Amino acid sequence: MAFTLRGDDAVQELQPSPIPAPYWVGFSSSAAKLVNIPLNDNGYPKDESWLEVLAGNSLQTQSSQFPHPIATVYSGHQFGVWAGQLGDGRAILLGEIADQELQLKGAGKTLYSRMGDGRAVLRSSIREFLCSEAMHALGIPTSRALSVVGSDLPVLRESIETAAVCARLAPSFMRVGHFEHFASTQNIARLKELADLLIDQHYPDCRIAKDPYLELFQQICQRNANLVAQWQAVGFCHGVLNSDNISVLGITIDYGPFGFLDQFQIDHICNHSDQGGRYAYHRQPQIMHWNMACLASAFIPLLELDRSQEESQELLTKALSQFPVVYGQTWQSLFRQKLGLMTAQEDDVQLIESLLQAMHDSKVDFTQLFRGLADININAPVTEIKMRNDFLDRDAIDQWFADYIARLKSESSIDAERKLNMNAVNPKYVLRNHLAQVAIEKAQHKDFSEVTKLLKILESPFDEQEQYTEYASPPPPDLSAIEVSCSS
C-alpha cells in the first residue's frame, strides 16, 4: 500500500520523464493478474494506454489514474560505509494499484539522482524483470516486475546503450535506508511516522504488542533472516546488499549484478565491482545481519520514546542477537528439504556441510546437483549414482552418498515420494547469467522472443519441461565467466 509521507523532507512530487516511441520488451501476465489488469489473447493489456503509462509517458489508463507520482528520500550504507543521502534517483513511484505500489525504474531524473541520468539500460532492465518473476516462481519473497518498456533513447554507460523502464510492484518499497535517513537527520517525528505507516499497513499485529516498535524490529529481522536463508538454498547472490537495497518487508528488491551459482564456490562473487567480496555468497547471511544492525541503530530513537537510551540499546541488541538463530533454523530446514529428509537429526548439519564442501572442491553445478539427488535409488550401489562422476575425489563422495543413503533409510524414505518432495524444492531452471545474456543480446537487436520464452520457462522452475532441458544446463565454458557489474 501507498507510501503516504508528503513534504519536501520526505518526497519529491514529480512526473516521470517521457521516453520516445516506447515498445514492449517484456510483459508478465502473472504480475498483471496480481493487479487485475485485463489482458488480450497475447498476454498484453487489452487497454493499449498501459504501454504509455508503463513507459512513464502518461499517468492514466481507461481504468487507473496515477495523479501524484513521487520519488522518496532515503540514506544508507554502501559497501559498509555511510554514504549519506541517497533516494529514488531513477525510480518513480506512480501510485498504488490493487494494494501494490507501482514503481517505474529508469523513468528519469529526480531530486535524488545526484550525478546519475535517471535512466536504466535495456540490459539491466531485462535482468531485473526476469529475475523478479523467476524468484517469485521459486517461492522467494520479492518485488514483482510487470513489464519492461524499451525506447531507442540513447543512454551512456561504458558504451552507448538504449533506455528501458522496468515497472515494479511490491506491497511497499520501503527500505532500511528510509529509517536510516530520518534517524541520521534526527527527524524523530518522521521516523515515527514511517514506523507507524509500516505497522499500520504491513505489520498490523505489532500494534497490539506490548512494545510495537521493538516487535516491529524483531519481525523485520525474522523476515530478512528467512529471506537470506532462502537465497542460500537456491544459490542466489544478490550482489549489492547495501542497506538502501534491503527491504523492511523482507522481500528481495533492487536487482542489479545478481547471479545464481553455476559451479558451486562458497565464496563466489557475482558483482564484478565488489572486489573485496563483501557480498560473496557465503557472506550474505552475515551481511544481512549487519544491515539489521544498521536498522537497529535507526530504531533507537523510537524505543527511546518510552525508555532510556541504554535500555533501548539493550533491547535492540538482544533482538538483533536472534538473527543468526532464526537464520540457522531456516537454513537447516531448507537444506533438509533439499536433501529430502523428513526428520531432523543431530548430524544433519554435518551431512549438509560436507556435501557443500565436496561440491566446492569439485566446482559442481549447484542447481543440477540438488535436482539430480532426487533420482537416487537407495537400494542400488553408490557406484551407480551418475553424479559421482562430477566429483574429483570419488572415494570421498562415495562415502558421502553411503552416509546419505543410510540417513534416508533411517527414516524409511521411499524413493518415489522423496523424489516428488525434492523436485518441489530443488528447481530445474534458474536464471543463469548466460541465459539472461542470450535474451539480452537478441533484445538489443529488437528480437524480444527470448525474453518471453525465458520468462515462461522460469515461471515453472520445478517442472520438468522436457522440451527446454538445454535451459537447465550449466553454461558452456566460453560463457561461464560473464562479468556483471554495478553499471546499469
Sequence-ordered alpha helix ranges (H) in 339-393? 348-362, 366-373
104 bridge partner residues: 92, 167
Active site residue 478: no
Min dist CB 483 to ligand AMP, Å, is: 17
Answer for which of 26, 56, 69, 118 binds ligand AMP (CB under 6 A) is 118
180 touches ligand AMP (CB under 6 A): no
Asked if 89 interacts with ligand AMP (CB under 6 A), we say: yes
Please report whether residue 29 would count as binding Mg ion according to CB under 5 A: no
Q: Assess contact for 10 and 190: CB atoms under 8 A.
A: yes
> Do 71 and 186 touch, CB atoms closer than 8 A?
no
DSSP letters of 180-193? Answer: HHHHHTT-HHHHHH
- Nearest distance in Å: CB 86, ligand AMP: 4
- Which position among 180, 254, 274, 450 is part of the footprint of Mg ion (CB under 5 A)? 254
Q: Which residues make beta-bridge pairs with 252?
A: 142
Contact stretch for ligand AMP (CB under 6 A) within 115-123, 158-166, 196-204, 318-326:
115-123
Tally of CB atoms within 10 A around 175:
27
User: Total residues contacting ligand AMP (rule CB under 6 A)?
Assistant: 15
Candidates 88, 244, 254, 274; catalytic one? 244
Which of residues 101 and 254 has its CB atom nearest to Mg ion in the complex? 254
- The whole-angstrom separation of Cα 97 and Cα 38 is 13
Residue 87, binding choice from ligand AMP, Mg ion, none, Cβ under 5 to 8 Å by partner class: ligand AMP
CB of 74 to Mg ion, least distance (A): 9
Min dist CB 73 to Mg ion, Å, is 13
CB of 194 to ligand AMP, least distance (A): 17
Neighbour tally for 42: CB within 10 Å = 9
Question: x/- site string to ligand AMP, residues 229 to 258, per CB under 6 A?
Answer: -----------x----x--------x-x--
Instruction: Give the list of residues 6+ apart from residue 168 with CB closer than 8 angstroms, or none.
Output: 91, 102, 103, 104, 105, 128, 132, 143, 144, 145, 146
The CA distance from 217 to 386, in Å, is: 47
Q: In the set 57, 143, 243, 245, which binds Mg ion (CB under 5 A)?
A: 245
Buried-state track 366-394, b at ≥16 Cβ within 10 A, e below 16: bbbbbbbbbebebeeebeebebbebbeee
Which CB, 90 or 268, lies closer to ligand AMP?
A: 90
20, 38, 116, 381: which one binds ligand AMP (CB under 6 A)? 116
User: Which residues, other chains included, contact 295 with Cβ-Cβ below 8 Å and sequence gap of 6+?
Assistant: 176, 179, 180, 217, 220, 221, 243, 246, 248
Verify binding: residue 124, ligand AMP, rule CB under 6 A. no
CB 376 to ligand AMP: min, Å: 42
Is residue 171 a contact partner of residue 100, using CB atoms and an 8 Å limit?
A: yes
The contact set with Mg ion (CB under 5 A) reads: 245, 254
The contact set with ligand AMP (CB under 6 A) reads: 86-90, 112-113, 116-119, 240, 245, 254, 256
Catalytic residues: 244
